[in-house]
Amino acid sequence: IQTRQLAQQMRREVQELVDVLLSTPNMEQRTVGIGRLDPEIARDFSNVGPMVRASGPARDTRADHPFVGYGLLPMEVHSEQGCDVISRLKVRINEVYTALNMIDYGLDNLPGGPLMVEGFTYIPHRFALGFAEAPRGDDIHW
């Protein structure tokens, strides 16, 4: 299966799942106002990811520290103000669609030519810095 077809299929399946999830009869009682994460606590504990983005700040490690091609992709950072489970769910749903949009954009703008840059040589035992989001703060690798 081709990448674009897979992304389109995923978009349809995600929408079906979201529709089922959000139409669940007791969804509101189980998510609205539940599991509140106060914005000040999120800030003080350096939370990242959907946890903090559902409590106000639009902070995303991929956007704050873009590497390789991330800086070339149009990336919307989603946030909500509700500070609760439904807000985190909305952030995650929107992030799935943003990821699929990024795949489409990447495919539409992928330059021609070889994948490996000519003249590239792997040199072992060098330094690198990487960032990833983790529930308790940025996960930084040196």
pLDDT tens-digit map of 36-76: 999 998 888 877 888 889 998 888 888 888 877 788 888 89
How many residues are there in the chain? Answer: 142
What is the pLDDT of the chain when averaged over all its residues? 89
Do 64 and 53 meet the contact criterion of CB atoms below 8 Å apart?
Answer: no
User: 73 lies in a domain?
Assistant: yes
**What integer pLDDT is reported at residue 17 of this predicted model?**
97
User: 62 lies in a domain?
Assistant: yes
What is the domain range of residue 25? 3-112+125-141
Do 29 and 47 meet the contact criterion of CB atoms below 8 Å apart?
Answer: no
Task: Give the residue from 32, 139, 12, 5 showing the smallest Cα distance to 90.
Answer: 32
User: 87 lies in a domain?
Assistant: yes
Number of domains in the chain: 1
What is the value of pTM for the model shown?
0.82
User: 35 lies in a domain?
Assistant: yes
With 0-12 / 13-18 / 19 or more C-beta atoms within 10 angstroms meaning exposed / middle / buried, residue 12 is exposed
